[in-house]
Amino acid sequence: MKKVGIMGGTFNPIHYGHLFMAESAYEQLGLDKVLFIPTKNPPHKLIPSTITQEQRVMMLSLAIRDNPHFELSLMELEREGMTYTADTLKILTDENPDTEYYFIAGADSLMQLHSWRNPENIFKLCTLAVAGRDDLDKETLNMQANKLAAAYNARIVFIDMPAIHISSSEIRARVAAGRSIKYYVHDEVIKYIEENRLYKG
């Protein structure tokens, strides 16, 4: 079986926290590659109309193109309506029965995943790979993982990586305030943001 990681999100913009999480999962779980899947209409987050789908894709492409085991998938952008993780996993597993999928997520997602659409299908179709955060202690994370395992027969593994306190909303705010985002995002992404005057408000 192939082992493929999935990094989903709005990536508005993609930053080094995303990239470090994906690389840590790739290395520690022995993955063959990591798919970055930008979402179109996430149910829990509103994407501002000031940024286009094409701009998010371009920033993501620029950020991952120098890593041979990172790959971009536009499958959610090509679907109509709301995009749900359970649906994406169903499509992937139907099309690739020889592949074992690992959904890479932060600890905040672990705490919320029971409220997502069809969590039982999510856990049936993938292993959840969780990057811990030092604002959530290990005991809390382990308790939640045990609850999900009992309720959904969930398979959950933890990725060992230091917490990186970078958020896309913080990056947008820094750009709007005229502050530097160097070392927050890939240099090619900085250049693209500057040339296209993104996040200026």
Annotated domain spans of the chain: 2-165
- Overall fold of domain 2-165: Rossmann fold (3.40.50)
pLDDT value at residue 48: 72
Sign of CA dihedral 109, 114, 119, 122: positive
What whole-number distance in Å separates Cα of residue 78 and Cα of residue 70?
20
pLDDT tens by residue, the chain, 201 residues: 999 999 999 999 999 999 999 999 999 999 999 999 999 877 667 677 789 999 999 999 999 999 999 999 999 999 988 889 999 999 999 999 999 999 999 988 899 988 999 999 999 999 999 997 656 778 889 999 999 999 999 999 999 988 888 999 999 999 999 999 999 999 999 999 999 999 986
Give the strand pairing for 2-9 and 99-106.
parallel
pTM of full prediction above 0.75: yes
HSE-CB of 139 using CA atoms within 13 angstroms: 0
pLDDT value at residue 43: 67
**Closest residue by Cα to residue 192 from 21, 60, 20, 72:** 60
pLDDT value at residue 86: 96
pLDDT value at residue 23: 98
Backbone angles phi, psi at 74, to 5 degrees: -100, 20
Give the strand pairing for 127-131 and 70-72.
unpaired
pLDDT value at residue 138: 83
138-167 per-position pLDDT tens digit: 888 999 999 999 999 999 999 998 888 899
Peptide bond into 42 cis (omega under 30): no
CB 98 within 8 A of CB 90: no
